[in-house]
Structure 1
Amino acid sequence: MTYFEDNPEIFAAIVAAIAILGGLLGSIIGAKIQANGGRDQAAAAREAARIAAEAQRVAALWNVRQLQVAEYIQGVREVRRLANLFYEQDANATGLEAQLCDARHALSLKLAEVDLTLPFGVVQAAYKVYECLEREVGIARDAGPAEYFLGIVSSQVFSEDPAESELARQAEEAVNELRAAPDTGDPRPRFPLVRVVVQTVRAATGATAEQAMAVVRYVSTGQYPAMRSENIQENAASMATLIMATRSVLRSEDDVIPPVPEQRRRRWRAGAGR
């Protein structure tokens, strides 16, 4: 200490040097801290941007899935509506077959879209709906014309026109006789009855030979009403499964679009806190 007291200029120089070195060290440390903070902020910004992009992707996919399943369900309902018209009108006269063909083609395209974008559980449910609907269409094509023309026969029995009423009565009697005829496994004994049914139904209703034969098949099997009833139940169950599976994927019980996964939110918060 005596040395520094005898040489104050040296002491002052040392103090100045220490101050300078301290300042430089402080600047270096501050710059390093600032640089680290900048890198953390940049990393947090990149993570936030990535999470935002992912959230946008999830939201866009959610919208696409919702639209595709909604359009698929609407397509199913349109095909079913057209299939039911086979029971209510002359399909040949109204061009119903062509309308049904177009609706089924559009539905198959919607099913392909569902197949590409929805989870496997929803896709399985959609195919089950499609299979049930195809059976419904097949039943409608076979049973629909028969029920339609049988309905005409039943109503025309009570026609005020005696000639029209008589033709309908003959057709009804022929149908009832065919219905009551035993099925021995050999169709040949039934051929005369089949011929009478075809002739009388055509005379009473104006049906084509093909449509009259649909009446024959319907009456001969007697299974179409039960098949249709069973198919209606299968359709309702398969559609309910599809709707439930889709609602689960879309999180329909929530009030908002599905959020960003929880793990990614925690990583973003960790980056923001550094």
Structure 2
Amino acid sequence: MTAFRQYFEDHPEIFAALVAAIAVLGGLLGSVIGAKIQADGGRDQAAAAREAAQIAAEAQRVAALWSVRQLQVAEFIRSARAMMAVCNGIYRSDDDAESRRARVDAASREMALREAEIRLIAPAKVAHAATEVAKATQKAYLGAMRWGPLAGGRVALKRLCNSEDEAVRREARAAMRVLDDEGSSWSVRRQALSTVDGLSGEHIRRLSEPPTKPMQRIVEGMHAHQREVDSKMGKLLEAARVMLRSDDDVLPVVPTPEQRRRWWRAA
């Protein structure tokens, strides 16, 4: 070691050159290590940026889907209730057949459209529940179209029974007594109804038909259809609340980049 030191003392120019070479090599090594660290950091930053962009896009997609599902379920429920309001109104209305069918057809088309939209964007359980509601309203629709006009004719006749015109009131009450007589024939019923000023031809035709079902059972059938729709609607609401995470009171979320990295480290 002493000889080595003595050599450099005797040859200072070689020592200086060696020190310079070591300094250059050290600088080069430092540059290489620094560049590698910087490159690794850049790759990590780029990967984190890509991941953050993917998570943000996923969060936007989930939030948008949540909003669409919430809107479509709400619109379907509204259309189903509107459909039932139209069907139930037939039992209490004395509108003509054309006007009545136009209202029902419009409500039915809208509900069918809303159901199709739910089947496209909602989970299977919600779509199935919506279909069950649609089936129940369809049964209510068929019942209303079959028995509603008869009940509506009774409504019209009862209204005429309270007419301010004494002659109309007398004829309407006489016709009502004939209808309440279950043994009255078609011809007798039609003759009595034809004398009432204010009844449409459809009212007279429907009220003249043999009473195949008592009015009380017709009204009970209307209420039964409403109960069935309400029951199916309750199941739809329950499934929709689960889908929309209503009890959590928050929008669906996706993990943040930091949460995902912690999960990867744990794995």
Alignment of 1:81-96 (within 5 A): 81-92=85-96, 95-96=99-100
Give the CA deviation at 1:156: 4.4
Structure 2 unmatched runs, 5+: none
Alignment of 1:141-160 (within 5 A): 141-154=145-158, 156-157=160-161
Instruction: Report the identity percentage.
Output: 40
Structure 1 unmatched runs, 5+: 182-191
Give the CA deviation at 1:201: 3.0
For the 8 Å contact 1:128–1:238, the answer to whether it is kept is: yes
Give the CA deviation at 1:6: 2.5
Q: 1:231 and 2:225 equivalent?
A: yes
Q: 1:17 and 2:10 equivalent?
A: no
Structure 1 residues 148 and 253, CA gap change in structure 2 (3 angstroms): same
Give the CA deviation at 1:210: 4.0
> 2:46 aligns to what?
42
Q: Which amino acid aligns with 1:36?
A: D
Give the CA deviation at 1:226: 2.7
Q: 1:56 and 2:26 equivalent?
A: no
Q: How far apart in 1 are the matches of 2:210 and 2:63?
A: 51
TM-score normalised by L of structure 1 = 0.82
Partner residue of 2:189 out of 197, 201, 207 = 197
Residues 121-153 of structure 1: per-residue CA shift (max 9 Å, x gap): 111111111111111122222222222222343
> 2:110 aligns to what?
106
Give the CA deviation at 1:117: 0.8
For the 8 Å contact 1:146–1:212, the answer to whether it is kept is: no
- SS of residue in 1 equivalent to 2:246: coil
Structure 1 residues 159 and 64, CA gap change in structure 2 (3 angstroms): closer
Q: 1:27 and 2:41 equivalent?
A: no
Partner residue of 1:127 out of 126, 131, 135 = 131
Give the CA deviation at 1:251: 1.5
Q: CA RMSD in A?
A: 2.8
Q: Which amino acid aligns with 1:95?
A: S
Q: How far apart in 2 are the matches of 1:25 and 1:224?
A: 96
For the 8 Å contact 2:161–2:169, the answer to whether it is kept is: yes
Q: Which amino acid aligns with 2:231?
A: A
> 1:3 aligns to what?
4
Q: How far apart in 2 are the matches of 1:144 and 1:162?
A: 28
Give the CA deviation at 1:110: 1.5
TM-score normalised by L of structure 2 = 0.83
Residues 59-110 of structure 1: per-residue CA shift (max 9 Å, x gap): 1111111111111122122222222221232221882321221222122111
Give the CA deviation at 1:244: 1.8
Structure 1 residues 78 and 160, CA gap change in structure 2 (3 angstroms): closer
For the 8 Å contact 1:143–1:218, the answer to whether it is kept is: no
> 1:140 aligns to what?
144
Q: How far apart in 1 are the matches of 2:210 and 2:51?
A: 67
For the 8 Å contact 1:168–1:204, the answer to whether it is kept is: yes
Give the CA deviation at 1:58: 0.8
Give the CA deviation at 1:269: 5.4
What is the aligned residue count?
Answer: 259
Q: How far apart in 2 are the matches of 1:205 and 1:238?
A: 43
Partner residue of 2:251 out of 242, 254, 257 = 257
Residues 146-203 of structure 1: per-residue CA shift (max 9 Å, x gap): 222223434545666554344334322332232xx5xxxxxxxxxx712322332343
> 1:248 aligns to what?
242
Structure 1 residues 90 and 120, CA gap change in structure 2 (3 angstroms): same
